[in-house]
């Protein structure tokens, strides 16, 4: 079956259909990864986007249960040069085509993805329509113009309920703005007691979970569409150690008075060089984002730039100068991509332990007594015991 991809500038690509049938509108972006297409498909940060893979052969090693980064894919379309229908890999359990059909995702192959990528690099990401229907170009344009790009991606991909991955070490509250499974895996490897909460969880609700630290996850869309996240961070900053990843990094910056802006075509792939300004070392990182923290807006805040992108010099890492809080724009959990930056999870745990040394908690009995005294309206005479029953 024939499939068509129409861009908002009028460019039309005609190729072969695979996956589901119908129509899908989304923001057309590209990913430069050579492998890892299943992790790309299942990354919630791609919600609302039609993803173009620049590597020409996709589907050749199939799909396996173990490589999912979320419970289901959230992308709005998949664009490849060559779709391999018969995968060859001992881990493969089913095909790429089967996965897309299962979740109603359209795919298109046999188009010039190099031309499409060059167009996006030159003109920036743009809205597109992927369709398998037998429609004229004018009809496709009408369908494209009728639908707006979504702004509620975070609420679509975030968990609706609190759940935990129990551990015996530090309790980490992971605020799910579209968290990849790799974040939980990395924390669990370090013995952390991980509690995952919805994106709109308030500061008081997090306090009641008695966390040792808070991790702000990755997620899709514009960080300014998540104002409740900014408020929550402001309320808890300085009270608990905080670590932000990707969208969490941008929300952390906004909460500290910095600003964010949209990149021309974003950073998506597993080969982005990032420089640690303190050590001078360069790390190869996995990235997936279309927004960045504005460099000039950081001036005058209490934020310190710790990492920059070696390609375009955009900000890749921040640290708070007074509070135990830091963030990175890239993915230290990788999946897909190199594991060069997994040490950041160790740094987060070290920061938590140092914070607890500097801010020792009062004994639990003292806290309970203080809470009782604050809430008890009756005054007990000095030296007199107060009993619940006589």
Binding residues for L-glutamine: 45, 219, 221, 247, 250, 288, 290-291
Q: Could you confirm whether 359 is annotated as catalytic?
A: no
Q: Could you confirm whether 85 is annotated as catalytic?
A: no
Q: Could you confirm whether 302 is annotated as catalytic?
A: no
HEC letters along 13-78: EEEEEEEECCEEEEEEEEECCCCCHHHHHCCHHHCCEEEEECCCEECCCCECHHHCCCCCCCCCEE
Token output for 365: 């009995």
As a whole number of angstroms, the distance between CA 164 and CA 213 comes to 15
| Known binding-site positions | 45, 219, 221, 247, 250, 288, 290-291
As a whole number of Å, the CA-based R_g of the chain is 24
Residue 213's contacts (CB-CB under 8 Å, 6 or more residues apart) are 170, 171, 172, 173, 240, 241, 242, 243, 348, 349, 351, 352, 355
- From the list 47, 192, 246, 256, the catalytic residue is 246
- From the list 27, 39, 170, 333, the catalytic residue is 333
Beta-carbon count within 10 A of 102 CB: 14
Q: What does DSSP assign to residue 351? A: H
Length of the chain measured in residues? 390
Whether the bond between 336 and the residue before it is cis, its omega within 30 degrees of 0, is yes
Active-site residue list = 246, 331, 333
């Amino acid at each position: 079956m024939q499939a068509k991809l129409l861009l908002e500038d009028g460019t039309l690509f005609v190729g072969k259909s695979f996956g589901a049938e119908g129509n899908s509108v989304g923001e057309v972006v590209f990913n430069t990864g050579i492998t890892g297409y299943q992790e790309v498909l299942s990354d919630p940060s791609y919600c609302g986007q039609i993803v173009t893979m620049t590597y020409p052969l996709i589907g050749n090693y199939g799909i396996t249960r173990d490589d999912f980064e979320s419970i289901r894919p959230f992308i709005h379309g998949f664009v490849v040069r060559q779709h391999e229908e018969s995968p060859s890999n001992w881990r493969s359990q089913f095909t790429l085509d089967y996965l897309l059909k299962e979740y109603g995702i359209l795919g298109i192959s046999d188009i010039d993805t190099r031309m499409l990528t060059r167009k996006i690099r030159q003109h920036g990401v743009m809205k597109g329509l992927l369709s398998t229907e037998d429609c004229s170009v004018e009809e496709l344009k009408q369908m494209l113009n009728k639908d707006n790009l979504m702004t509620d991606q975070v609420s679509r991909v975030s968990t609706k309920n609190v759940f935990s991955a129990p551990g015996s070490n530090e309790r980490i509250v992971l605020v799910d703005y579209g968290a990849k499974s790799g974040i939980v895996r990395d924390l669990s490897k370090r013995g952390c007691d991980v509690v995952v909460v919805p994106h709109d969880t308030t500061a008081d609700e997090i306090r009641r979970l008695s966390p040792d630290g808070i991790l702000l996850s990755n997620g899709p869309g514009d960080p300014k569409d998540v104002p409740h996240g900014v408020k929550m961070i402001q309320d808890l900053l300085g009270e608990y150690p905080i670590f932000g990843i990707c969208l969490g990094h941008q929300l952390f910056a906004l909460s500290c008075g910095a600003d964010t802006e949209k990149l021309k075509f974003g950073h998506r792939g597993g080969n982005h060089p990032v420089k640690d300004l303190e050590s001078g070392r360069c790390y190869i990182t996995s990235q997936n984002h279309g927004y960045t923290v504005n460099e000039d807006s950081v001036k005058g805040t209490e934020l310190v730039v710790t990492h920059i992108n070696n390609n375009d010099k955009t900000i890749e890492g921040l640290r708070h100068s007074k509070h135990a809080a830091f963030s990175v724009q890239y993915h230290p959990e990788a999946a897909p991509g190199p594991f060069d930056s997994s040490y950041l999870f160790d740094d987060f745990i070290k920061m938590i332990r140092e914070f607890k040394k500097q801010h020792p908690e009062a004994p639990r009995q003292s806290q309970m007594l203080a809470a009782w005294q604050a809430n008890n309206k009756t005054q007990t005479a000095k030296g007199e015991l107060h009993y619940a029953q006589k």
